[in-house]
């Protein structure tokens, strides 16, 4: 599966190199759906890194992940993919210009004007 995905991304990159860079960006809804699918695929290999581990690795956390990072809960509650239950993901996948604004949200990055 990983080899197939690698080949697919290489094909996308090669096609994008041939196009005008200004027109090569995928719509925000599509980018959001791809991110959601990649996150689901990652969970098949085992649990995701906890929000504490992600923060320590230098990743910016969204407001909800940051709350879970500082909350007095066990590490097991810091590992779920919170994007799966976040309304930002639902909006990002359904709308081309979703009203998402908070820092650290990967879906918000796709919807910046």
Give pLDDT, residue 20: 60
Give pLDDT, residue 18: 63
Nearest to 79 by CA among 65, 67, 60, 89: 65
Which of the two residues, 7 and 106, has the higher pLDDT score? 106
Name 52's Cβ contacts closer than 8 Å, sequence gap at least 6.
69, 75, 78
Give pLDDT tens digits for 83-104: 888 888 999 999 988 888 888 8
Mean pLDDT of the chain: 83
What is the C-alpha to C-alpha distance for residues 78 and 74, in angstroms, rounded to an integer?
A: 7
Give pLDDT, residue 22: 57
Give pLDDT, residue 56: 92
Give pLDDT, residue 16: 66
Give pLDDT tens digits for 19-59: 565 556 788 899 999 999 988 888 888 878 888 888 999 98
């Amino acid at each position: 599966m990983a080899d197939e995905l690698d080949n697919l991304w290489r094909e996308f990159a090669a096609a994008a190199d041939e196009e005008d860079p200004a027109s090569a960006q995928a719509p925000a809804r599509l980018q959001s759906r791809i991110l959601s699918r990649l996150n689901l695929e990652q969970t098949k290999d085992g649990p995701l890194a906890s929000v504490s581990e992600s923060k320590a690795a230098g990743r910016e956390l969204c407001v909800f992940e940051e709350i879970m990072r500082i909350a007095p809960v066990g590490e097991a509650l810091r590992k779920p993919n919170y994007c799966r239950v976040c309304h930002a993901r639902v909006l990002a996948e359904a709308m081309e210009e979703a009203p998402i604004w908070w820092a650290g949200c990967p879906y918000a990055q796709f919807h910046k004007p």
